[in-house]
Structure 1
Amino acid sequence: MAFDFALTLLVLTVLFGLVWGLDRAFLYRARKRRAEETGKDYRDPWPVDWSRSLFPVVLLVLVLRSFVAEPFRIPSPSMYPTLKVGDFILVNKFSYGLRLPVFHTKILKVGEPKRGDIVVFRPPWSPDQDWIKRVVGLPGDKVVVRGEQVFVNGKRVETQPIGPYAGDVSDKYDRMIMSKQGMVLDENLDGVHHHIIETPLAHFAPNVPNGDNPVTVPQNCYFVMGDNRDDSDDSRYHGCVPEKDLVGKAFFIWLSLHSMNRIGTVLH
């Protein structure tokens, strides 16, 4: 089972709060009175002192991570070139509504994902991991992936070639394809321009789901794809992502091990 930092923060917040609160309610006055009667300098016991000092800190971190922004690290190249391995990003936790930490129950609806949004989610097929992809289809949309072309509601998503992509590519089975050149394209999803990569990988990996039959996105679900189109495990394999599994909207690169120039990049 993966380490759950949110659960750890919640447990520590409750623990420190209880120790400090119960001490102040039932033990503090009597203990201080005894110290005054004996003429000794008063000091809280170390568990109480630690709890009093750490409670506001962990509470603040819990609130910020749960309701404002949470940091994530990019572990794979599926969103290349927008996001690269070693990028550290911030995710807006209130873009799509406020949720209780750990339980993920929505307590306040704020907004909904739009086409082109970069979203972090915990999918039902991998609930212990955070995934990141781009929203292509909204609830009720009909999505078709035909070769390298994406159609939404019968209209082809506009792309314009930018230049060649000469990097080595590999599929999920680690078969290296050398000396094959792909293409970097500018894609326009409802006015959200971003770069995607198409590589020859699709010709070597016929199991990538494509076809002429449209997929109708169910209500409260979203069709997502990686910007590295031929090296992304996404809705073409697993189906749509339920709204309840969304974590938030990625919006900022605050650190990058790939290049210092990427720090401060606003994502779109």
Structure 2
Amino acid sequence: MRSALLRGRTVAVAVPALALLATVAPSAVADEAPAGSAYGASASVSLLPGVLGDKGISVETGKLARSSTAGPESAQVVDVPLKGLITAKAISSSAKEDGPVTAKAAIVDAALPVLAPLAGSTPKAGVISSECTSTPEGITASSKLVGLDLGKIGDLPVGTSPNQKIGVPGVLQVIVNEQIKHSDGSLTVNALHVKLLGGKKTGALGSGDIVLASATCAKVAGTTTPPPTSPSRPTSPAQPPAEGPGQVSVVPAGAPETGDGSLATVAAR
């Protein structure tokens, strides 16, 4: 399974493989959630007339530049134009489970023209990234926003903590460093989640969601340590659980205050 930029690809399957799958019970081929997964961007929006064109448009991208520990473990798309919603120099993601489970996603030189009518200029960011790590002790997650400028939409304080929200009531909500704990113990971190709230207020853009730089890590089961063979040998103290509810510890993101609308210069990674 693959994804292209803020877009899907088709996979041809040989006839003998189809015949083999037909003999396998459904439970044997059911998808299991990977230990880690990530994607660069996704959009599912319906825009009103006058936003990015005279006619309203609907965009459904799926998860772009998608990766997972089940494969592919990395994905990248360069020079991204997405229906006028998002532009970026590159988006990428990776997911691995060599030791700790890690998942990462990043967008470089991003712009969101769709928000320009509310921001007064095109919102931009040098880097938008997220990362999560899962071990038997718990899950940590963080986001990074370099040179983020949302213009008139609002400013973010330095050291943005999880799930900070700004926007225009009834029209737009922007969630920064969004962290979502799922019922199965997994954790998703979205560096930036733009929610168009619909409505008919002045400045309404439409409805739907745009997610930038998303990473998800599953809860990792602990391993059982056998008792020591020598009673004279002291055992190591138990590892303390991660901080926070549900064994999730959060690393706050560092989001600089916004500037005057110009794109920040970002050092090459």
Smaller-chain TM-score range?
A: under 0.3
Larger helix proportion, structure 1 or 2?
A: 1
Larger strand proportion, structure 1 or 2?
A: 2
Q: Normalization by structure 1: what TM-score? A: 0.21
Q: Which has the larger radius of gyration?
A: 1
